Amino acid sequence: MQEDFLYYVWKLQYFDKKSLTTCQGETLSIAYPGTRNENAGPDFLNGCITINNVTWHGHIEMHVNASDWYTHQHHTDKAYENVILHVVWDHTRDIQQQDGTIMPTLVLKERIAPRLHQQYQRLVNNPTAIPCAKHLPQVVDLPKASMLDKALFQRLTHKNNLVYRLLEDNKGNWETTAYQLLAYTFGFKVNSSASLDLALNLPLKILTQHTDNLLQLEALLMGQAGLLHTDNKGGDTYLTTLKKEYHYLTHKYQLKVGSVQAHQWKFFRLRPANFPTIRIAQFAQLLHRYPSIFDLLVNSPMTALLAKLAVTQSAYWQRHYRFSKESKARIPGLGKSSIRHVLINTAVPLLIAYGKAKDKQDYIEQATAILQHLPAEHNAITRYWDKAGIKAKSAFDSQALIELFNNFCKHKLCLSCHIGVSIMKKRIG
């Protein structure tokens, strides 16, 4: 039993409402179940019920076991002071309110048709990666499309949270925010937090003084990343030069050395093209070519942006994947899938956040156009969907499907999903 099922039953009032009474023996009728609250606080807000002929307006909280009220510490939380009804599957204990009275409680266990519960169990307990897969062909397009929109919106909101956090820390400076966000993205997941740490410890205003000199940009980035603290027994002249430059620039700008350490960077199990050394070198090349990262990402037309992001790192990093470690094969520049990663994780959230902040729909549409233009990702999750008959046609679809899988299907939140609700309705109707 999951609370998800109780929310569904309560929202649609799918239970026997004949002669309703609370556990305390009071008569109960429900005029309005309230609106579902997906945020912190009670599960349904602003409901309306009548207990013993007295009408109450307030919130409704739901639990599988009544004792969860205490387990979840609601008795110490002011947000639950205005709860007028506790709806539970099992009445494991009475709940005492702050005024000493017992919380009116409705038990649903005996009031829900066993067929509905079995139907729900069959839906969520299917062992396939996407539990509803076999029902999908019977689901009409509308719930599928609206659920994909909901999932995409959720994914973009999640990605935007980092933009807003950085923007706040940067006191509304979009340029610095774009630089830090791009650095984070250039960590390509495995090294994202080290990469963001690097940007936070290397002010953009210092890099801006050296955008015409790629070597100095590399010296600053590699040095602050802690990657120049390596011995140079083989006498690598490039490493020697970067060390000298970094030494000079550290003193010039009084840089705090050691904020990011070499051990923070992960190389293990990565392809050489994805080594942080290569990514930092590509990042340096982008800063060298486009001193305003914000302008690059927000004001470049789509096709121009794709071309501009296709940078190749400096000559040294085309032949070395680590300092003094030569590569037999030439190491390529930023490839198509990396560019897609950068667009989805930097340009799109930045455009949406900027469009919202300036109340300009154009930027939001530009972000949507990027997602619709980019080809779909292909990974284990999109393959599950493919097998279930849902094919992603663009990054717009694949981003939505990834979110739907990770945040709904995996947790069996089928009753918070328009597709699941549609399947249940069909089976009940």
Q: What is each CA distance from 19 to 15, 28, 86, 111, 191, in whole angstroms?
A: 12, 8, 17, 11, 60
Q: Is the separation of the CB atoms in 242 and 223 below 8 Å? A: yes
The CA distance from 118 to 114, in Å, is 6
Stretch that binds ligand SF4, among 5-13, 18-26, 37-45, 403-411 (CB under 6 A): 403-411
| CB atoms closer than 10 angstroms to residue 333 | 19
Stretch that binds ligand SF4, among 27-35, 70-78, 200-208, 402-410 (CB under 6 A): 402-410
Question: What CA–CA distances, in Å, run from 317 to 273, 275, 286, 330, 338?
Answer: 10, 11, 14, 9, 17
Taking the least distance from each CB to ligand SF4, the nearer of 286 and 381 is 381
Smallest distance, Å, CB 385 to ligand SF4?
9
**Residue 130 within binding range of ligand SF4, rule CB under 6 A:** yes
Position 131 contacts ligand SF4 (CB under 6 A): yes
SS3 string, 79-117, reads: HHCCEEEEEEEECCCCCECCCCCECCEEECHHHCCHHHH
Shortest distance in whole angstroms from residue 391 CB to ligand SF4: 15
**Residue 98 backbone dihedrals phi, psi, to 5 degrees:** -65, -25
152, 219, 348, 417: residue in contact with ligand SF4 (rule CB under 6 A): 417
- The residue range among 238-246, 310-318, 365-373, 405-413 that interacts with ligand SF4, by the rule CB under 6 A, is 405-413
Distance of closest approach, residue 63 Cβ to ligand SF4, in angstroms: 22
Using CB under 6 A, which of the segments 125-133, 249-257, 288-296, 341-349 binds ligand SF4? 125-133
Q: How far is the CB of 77 from ligand SF4 (least distance, A)?
A: 29
Work out which of 6, 132, 371, 400 binds ligand SF4, going by CB under 6 A: 132
H, E, C per residue of 218-256: HHHHHHHCCCCCCCCCCCCHHHHHHHHHHHHHHHHHCCC
Determine, following the binding rule CB under 6 A, whether residue 352 of this chain makes contact with ligand SF4. no
Structure token pair of residue 382: 């999109």
Binding site for ligand SF4 (CB under 6 A): 130-132, 404, 408-409, 413-414, 417, 419-420
